[in-house]
């Protein structure tokens, strides 16, 4: 194969992988969401940000821990990147529940870690659109999993307030989605969504007792600054943009002041 043919073959393969990643968890799952009136992750991002402004990071990423998961984890369940909301630069992380319940893994942890680092360094807001099932095994297992595999970010759930964060809880949100919700400066929650540290089933297995889902959700809800809004995604995201715009303005100023403080020696 000559260089020109190699180039064309590479572009063909890139197009194939891009199409597969953008197809998310497959048409059957996407159709069920449409029938229920629920936006998918990419629709949420498109609806939220200024048109044509989204630049995705890690589109071709897949699960790297288990060989059998490669090829069936498009974008590894997280749609992340950079965009503009009302002309302001933001970092965005949207959970794609159609891919392994958007469970947290080594690959998508690195994707979110990258967006967080860039947003913090440049001082612009971060947006988290939450809907996830929790941790993926074996990615989370042991000290290696928690310390290095998950984006190699030992401070991923520590909030230093170096940039403003906002979040929306848009469905069942366990694990990382709940953490980012309570760490955010501002959070909205779609009526009917669930915000909890862990699913009732997992908690029941760990504690060996029956768990009331309402109580699990209520504990997490009391820990966050929440505003309960519309039961449908589009009106919720529209109102969220209006409310968050002012908070982004204030939060960016405060974050800038925080970063300019002299560091202790």
Q: Please write the tens of the pLDDT for every residue from 133-173.
A: 777 665 555 555 455 555 556 666 777 778 888 888 888 88
Pick from 12, 137, 2, 7: nearest CA to 63: 137
Q: Is residue 28 part of a domain?
A: no
Q: Is residue 221 part of a domain?
A: yes
Q: Is residue 13 part of a domain?
A: no
Residues 141 and 261: their CA atoms lie apart, in Å, by 37
Q: Is residue 77 part of a domain?
A: yes
For position 190, which CATH number holds? Answer: 3.90.226.10
Residues recorded for the chain: 265
Q: Is residue 19 part of a domain?
A: no
Q: Is residue 11 part of a domain?
A: no
Q: Is residue 21 part of a domain?
A: no
The residues, any chain, with a CB within 8 Å of residue 48's CB and separated by 6 or more, are 85, 92, 127, 129, 237, 240, 241
Better-predicted residue by pLDDT, 206 or 149: 206
Give the 3-state secondary structure of residue 84: strand
Domain span at 225: 38-260
pLDDT tens profile 129-140: 988 877 766 555
Q: Is the peptide bond before 233 cis (omega within 30 degrees of 0)?
A: no
Q: Identify any residues that bridge with 194 across adjacent strands, giving them in sequence order.
A: 172
Tally of structural domains, the chain: 1
Question: Which residue reads 């996830």 in tokens?
Answer: 132
Q: What is the pLDDT of residue 261?
A: 47
Q: What is the pLDDT of residue 86?
A: 82
């Amino acid at each position: 194969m000559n260089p020109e043919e190699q180039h064309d073959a590479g572009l063909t393969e890139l197009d194939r992988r891009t199409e597969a990643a953008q197809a998310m968890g497959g048409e059957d799952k996407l159709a069920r969401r449409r029938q229920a009136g629920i936006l998918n992750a990419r629709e949420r991002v498109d609806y939220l940000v200024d048109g044509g402004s989204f630049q995705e990071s890690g589109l071709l990423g897949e699960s790297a821990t288990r060989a059998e998961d490669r090829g069936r984890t498009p974008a590894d369940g997280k749609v992340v990147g950079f965009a503009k909301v009302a002309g302001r630069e933001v970092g965005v992380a949207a959970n794609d529940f159609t891919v392994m319940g958007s469970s947290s893994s080594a690959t998508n942890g690195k994707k979110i870690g990258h967006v967080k680092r860039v947003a913090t360094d440049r001082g612009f807001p971060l947006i988290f659109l939450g809907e996830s099932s929790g941790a993926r095994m074996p990615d989370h297992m042991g000290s290696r999993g928690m310390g290095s595999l998950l984006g190699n970010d030992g401070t991923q759930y520590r909030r230093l307030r170096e940039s403003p964060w906002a979040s929306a809880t848009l469905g069942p949100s366990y694990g990382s989605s709940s953490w980012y919700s309570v760490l955010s400066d501002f959070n909205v929650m779609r009526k009917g969504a669930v915000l909890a540290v862990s699913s009732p089933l997992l908690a029941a297995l760990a504690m060996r007792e029956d768990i009331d889902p309402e109580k699990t959700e209520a504990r997490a809800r009391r820990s966050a600054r929440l505003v309960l809004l519309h039961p449908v995604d589009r009106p919720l995201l529209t109102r969220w943009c209006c409310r968050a715009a002012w908070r982004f303005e204030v939060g960016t100023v405060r974050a800038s002041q925080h970063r300019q403080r002299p560091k202790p020696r």
